[in-house]
Each structure stands twice: as structure tokens, then as C-alpha cells.
Amino acid sequence: MLIDTHCHLHDREWFTPEQSELFLQEAHNNNVQKIICIGTNHQDSLNASDFATKHQDVYWTYGIHPEFASAIQQRDEDILLLFERIRSYDEEERRDPATAGVANAPRKKKTKCPLLVAIGEIGLDYHYDDYDRSAQIHLFEQMLQLALDLNLPVSLHIREAFTDAFAVLDNFPKTRGVVHSFTGSKRELRQALDRGFSIGVNGLCTYTTNPLPPLANMVLETDAPFLTPVPFRGTINKPGYVKTIATYLAEKLGVAEAKVVEQTTQNARNIFKI
């Protein structure tokens, strides 16, 4: 079984409802049995939740991408709405006798509210000059605190901002999770690994020279509809291409594809509890 730990299949800016259904079925046909839909702002996160509610083995995250940091006017109100949603879910889960008293039991998806598995994508993006860096840092701190309050891992978006991102993360030392779509240096990779983070590897690995983490610290993702892997460059990305990424990595690393699948899937299950 493969897991796409980061995609945007719920986003109607990129996928029609018909495409979402088709690509989800194609993913299952390629043995991608679980996918995580990543929220990029408050409403988009709730849209990811709604999409997950309607589909088996689809999960969601809550996050506000750094590109929206300057535009957020009601962060506190948005987070309160989230707390209400999570609180109602947690109360229902605590009443579930199937998981009562079972250590590390996988949490079941409820009909009314699907399983929230992480806070993300959140972080810092210094690639564009018009992104307000101080606003990004403030939002990043809020999101990290939210992850700690809810005891959830994070999905981190860090682009050309590792020095500041690590400085912020060091103020939240219990943070755990994944650095999504890693594009840093070998030194920055080691710094991320030393802090206990796993690394999300996607189609970039098929056409760039970005450093790769050890299999023990790797999860697979597509970031669909973006970052389509070779040989499908120039077309829309989709969760089923996780298999393409696994096949490529097996050849590049000189290991059996089954080993890549087994290790990265187990890593994802350990992080996201799915």
C-alpha cells in the first residue's frame, strides 16, 4: 500500500468534481490506498475536510499557507471555529468503546467529521519579495502552537527560508512532522533530520538534484496538481503518480521497490496515525 501524504485533490481551482473522482479511482488502481488533502487557508482546509468526509481513506489537514499571512484578518476567530469542530469530533471519539483504553489505537473517521491528521501546510516562504516576512513568522508561530495544543504533527512549507524557520521551530521543540517538498541544501537537510523531521519526497526528485533523505526519514507525496514527475511532465499531477515516484526512487537508491513502498508507508502511518 502506498500513501500520498500531500495533495490538493479537493481544490476546485485545479480539479473538477469529475476529475477528483477519476483521479482518486486511478490512485486506488495504482495501490495508493490513502491520501491526505492539505489545507492552505481556513476555507480551503474546511473544503478538504468536506472532501474527506465523502471518501474512504481520505484525510485532511488544517493550515494557512505563508502566502496568505498578510491577508489574514481574523486568525483568532478562524482558529476558534476550528477548535469547535475538533472538540465535537474528540468528544465523539472518546465515546467510541472500540478505542477506549487502547494505547496508540488508530482513530476512526467519523461520519460527521473526518480525521484531521496534521496542521499544515504552514511555514515560511521567502521566494517572493511581496510576502511579508514578519507576518509569516507570526502566523507560523500561531500554527505551531495550534499543532501542539491539538497534539498533531505538522506539514511544513519552507522555501528559501530555512534559517528563520529553524529559529522559529527551535522555540517549539516538541513539534514533529514532515518538511514537505524539500528544496534545501544537504546541510539544511541534515538540520531538519537532526530536529526529528521526516522529509516529503515528490516528483521533484525525478528532475532536480535536491538531496534525498534516508528511507527511514522519507514519506512520499505528489503535491498534486503541482510538480508532476517524469515522464508525465507537462500534465496535471495526480495522487496515482506516487507509484511513479516510488519506482524512480527504487532505481535511484538501488533498492527493491517493495522496500521503498514498505518503509515510506510505515513512516507515514507512524507520523499521521492512519
- Which grid cell is 45? 482546509
Q: Are 236 and 14 in contact (CB under 8 A)?
A: yes
- What CA–CA distance (Å, rounded) separates 227 from 143? 25
Q: What is the pLDDT of residues 196-207, one digit of tens each?
A: 999 999 999 999
pLDDT for 129: 85
Pick the residue with more confidence: 88 or 262?
262
Q: What is the mean pLDDT of residues 61-90?
A: 70
Q: What is the pLDDT of residues 191-241, one digit of tens each?
A: 999 999 999 999 999 999 999 999 999 999 999 999 999 999 999 999 999
Domain ranges of the chain: 2-98+108-272
| Mean pLDDT, the chain, integer | 89
Residue 25: beta bridge partners? none
**CATH number attached to the domain at 2-98+108-272:** 3.20.20.140
- What CA–CA distance (Å, rounded) separates 139 from 122? 8
Q: What is the mean pLDDT of residues 69-79?
A: 65
Helix axes 162-169, 133-150, angle to 10 degrees: 40
Nearest to 148, CA basis, from 167, 164, 171, 125: 171
Please give the span between the terminal C-alpha atoms of the chain, in angstroms, as a whole number.
Answer: 12
